[in-house]
Structure 1
Amino acid sequence: MAASMRHVFRVVKACSDKFYKHTGFVNTYRTKVITECPRLILSRNYPSFANRFIPLWKVSGFAAVGMWSFFTVKKEEEDVIKKEEIVEADEDHDKNPEKHRTDIERYVKLAKMAQMKKEFDEADMYYHKALKVANNKLNNEQISKKFSTQARTYIHDAMADMALSRGQFDKAEALYKDTLKGYLETGGSKTDNAVMELTLKLSSLYAIVRKDHEARLGLTTVIDCQEEKIKTNPKADIDTYGLLGIALQTYGRYLLHHNELEKAEATFGRCEEVCSHAVGENSSQMLKVLNDLAAVQIIQTRYAQAEVTLQKALVISQAMESCDTVHAIYSNLGAISLKLSQFDIAESRCSTALKLAKQAGDDFAQKQAKHCLDKVKEARQSPPVQ
């Protein structure tokens, strides 16, 4: 199913589509794992920053489910899954090998429908039924070993995403490893984009549970592998560039969390270059990268540079037909002006942020804009420092 090339989920879709095309299992479902995971490794070491500036992940427009919202299914995918198709029965079922595959796919579709409704226990039940059916049919020689492996690989990946979203980290780790093993058993290479995508998922999981050595090793492995691919072939496909961009952004936020600000800034700078190539200048993903870069500059109290970065983001947001971060940009710009004692400018920017946040229905952004306006009022009433 098609998605805009200018949207970051185009990249995730492309990687996932290649993965499932390789394994041969129907791809009717994608996760938002990679694009959501960096939120969880953002630093909590800067409370003053958190109070005065809107962190990117608060306004990115992603749905938060528990500790990690990984498996929100896109509306377009809901249209694909039809209840009538799932419950259809075929009388000549046993005579056609394709019908034996349909049995497994039917349970998978039911599981995905339950996931969309956040009925996770029911979804887990259907996934286990699908695995049991696959195993029974393999034993009865009704499906091939290859298809059985393909089905298990697909199901394990979906179950891993769901387990991770529920905070079941040990279970998610084991399932991701099973997915990786299954993919390699089908003939995949250790340097394939699908393997790098799974490695990135595992690395992000390790970052959450504070296995820093594993997290750092995994992230740098993905980056080095993808960089080598585009070095060897500068005309590599968008999937390769896109996965590199996501890995760089994730690693940049990881470095920010560990207060490695110079490395984080350099990583975000490289991410900006890759993002421009993969999804274009005027894209929502570029706005997120620029916001991350500005965050590092703000923490380093380099407000002038941060303003330049955010102004660039503002120009991009205004060029886009729709943008869910423009109010955050105005609010952050207003906060910078406040730090520089430019009270009139700060009031104007934060007022604009409040207006746009109300239009967007973003309660958090409204609170931040109001906080900024309150700070402007306090600053004006405070006696000048002698």
Structure 2
Amino acid sequence: MAAPMKHVFRVIRACSDKFYKHTGFGFMCRTRGTIGYTQLIRPQKYSCYSKSFHPTWKYGGYTGIGIWSFFTMKKEEVNETEKEAEHDVTDGDKDKDLLQDQTDIEHYIRLAKIAQMKKEFEEADMYYHKALKVANKKFKADKLSKKLSIQARTYIFDAMADMALSQGKFDKAEVLYKDTLKGYLETGGDRKDNAVMELTLKLSSLYAMIKKDHEARLGLTTVIECQEEKIKANPKSDIDTYGLLGIALQTYGRFLLHHNELEKAETVFCRCEEICSHAVGENSSQMLRVLNDLAAVQIVQSNYTKAEVTLQKALVISQNMESCDAVHAIYSNLGAISLKLSQLDLAETRCSTALKLAREAGDEFAQKQAYHCLRKVKEARQSQPVK
């Protein structure tokens, strides 16, 4: 093969490895569909969520074919990549044949991701289509095997689907995700592979966003059942398998919460907590998000004592972490619980602490929550009979 494809995903892999090896579920991509759906639920429906504390699992599967999202790149890494891309263009002017034969697909993908990060979506779409055109041209010229051609197209389709979803182009995103799934299966992938389950999760999240509840529920339960079977058969399954199960459980839990299936949601979040503990440990930011979800369900059910225990556990975890941007949200939620239990002094203390920490974090939404709590405390005191 005249132009080997082993470097096609090199830059994407390098960036994601640098960024994710210190956090979460290992070397996996951010699930845009899940993130988009969780934002629909929080905080519009329930006031117990802070914008800085939204429970989004940052990572999803796709390990089967080496697909990573452009969202795995840090800002400084994007700048570095942009410089490299500009350098490639200069070199290309000197030796266009070399650029075309060895780095053209990767080059266009990098340019697309840079444009996507800058929200220059039309330019990004143009570069993705150029990459597709080059991959097709190489395949027809026998410079690229059918399998590698499908892998390249699959990667590009997935990236374009994520971009379409971020723009609210749901129909386009659905078609592209399905094309990605088809491409993966054409390369010999199994229908129960993590990559297929990840795509199913993305589609399910998308369906939830457009209120196709039956399809969303079916897809989410399918992913959960499949991943649970894998873990039951092999408790030592890799981190991707556990991580994907965690994503699916949390997404499904929030789906159930949104539809007021509260007891079932609590059960799902408890299982999610178990998986999170196994995958990333107790002292992790992801565990805080799961506990906040669990507490949210308990609050909505008026199980304030249980919710306080859950949030106190989250508070201890946050204090054991070197840095945590969720502490003010925990204090705010604890203050709300104290207010519900008519513990006005404790509610004031907790909400005041939440306000102070939210100011330091620059979280305007959390500040509004804390102000609201303090105002309710004041109103409750004024309504008390004079002794």
Amino acid aligned to 1:36 = I
156-165 vs 120-129, which moves further: 120-129
* Equivalent position of 2:359 in the other structure: 358
Contact 2:207 2:216 in 1 (8 A): yes
Q: Bigger CA drift: 359-368 or 71-80?
A: 71-80
Written as runs of structure 1 = structure 2, the 5 A alignment for 1:1-386 is: 1-3=17-19, 7-8=23-24, 10-11=25-26, 13-14=27-28, 30-33=29-32, 36-42=35-41, 46=45, 49-50=46-47, 53=48, 55-60=49-54, 72-75=71-74, 77-78=77-78, 79-81=80-82, 82-87=84-89, 88-89=91-92, 94=97, 99-384=100-385
Deviation of 1:272 after TM superposition, in Å, equals 0.2
Equivalent pairs counted in the alignment come to 355
Letter in 2 for 1:135: N
1:77 offset after TM fit, Å?
4.3
Deviations 1:26-74 (A, max 9, x none): xxxx44425513414527885xx42xx3x15553498xxxxxxx86443
TM, length-normalised to structure 1: 0.86
Distance 1:359 1:45 in 2: 24
Matched residue of 1:89: which SS?
Answer: helix
CA distance in 1, matches of 2:40, 2:193: 26
Is the Cα contact below 8 Å between 2:329 and 2:354 reproduced in 1?
A: yes
* 1:90 to partner: Cα distance: 7.7
Q: Are the counterparts in 2 of residues 33 and 201 from structure 1 also a CA contact under 8 Å?
A: yes
Structure-1 separation of matches of 2:120 and 2:364: 27
1:114-136: CA deviations, max 9, x gaps? 01111111101111111122222
**Percent of matched pairs sharing the same residue:** 69
Match of 2:184, SS state, is helix
Q: How far apart are the structure 2 equivalents of 1:158 and 1:288?
A: 26
Give the Cα separation in 1 of the matches to 2:297 and 2:385.
29
Please give the secondary structure, in 1, of the residue aligned with 2:103. helix
Aligned counterparts of 1:45 and 1:124: Cα–Cα separation in 2: 32
Residues 135-174 of structure 1: per-residue CA shift (max 9 Å, x gap): 2222233333222211111100000000000010010000
Q: TM-score, normalised by structure 2?
A: 0.85
Give unmatched runs, 5+ long, in structure 2: 1-16, 57-68
Output the amino acid matched with 1:173.
E
Does the C-alpha gap of structure 1 residues 44 and 32 become closer, same or farther in structure 2, counting only changes over 3 Å?
closer
Distance in 2 of aligned mates of 1:60 and 1:321: 20
Tell me how far apart the structure 2 counterparts of residues 281 and 56 of structure 1 sit (CA, whole Å).
Answer: 21
Q: What amino acid is the match of 2:202?
A: K
Quick one: which amino acid aligns to residue 368 of structure 2?
Answer: K
Displacement of 1:100: 2.6
Query: In terms of mean alpha carbon deviation, does 144-153 or 266-275 score higher?
Result: 144-153
User: 1:235 & 1:119 partners in 2: Cα distance?
Assistant: 43
Q: In structure 2, how many angstroms separate the alpha carbons of the residues matched to 1:143 and 1:365?
A: 52
Q: CA deviation at 1:362?
A: 0.7
CA distance in 2, matches of 1:86, 1:320: 41
Distance 1:44 1:114, change over 3 A: closer
Output the CA distance in 1 between the equivalents of 2:39 and 2:52: 11
Question: What is the rounded CA distance, in whole Å, between the counterparts of 2:152 and 2:44 in structure 1?
Answer: 43
Shifted more, 307-316 versus 126-135: the winner is 126-135
Amino acid at match of 1:131: L
Structure 1: runs of 5+ lacking an equivalent: 15-29, 63-69
Name the stretch that deviates more: 114-123 or 133-142. 133-142
Alpha-carbon contact 1:107-1:127 (below 8 Å) kept: yes
Whether contact under 8 Å (2:151, 2:187) holds in the other structure is yes
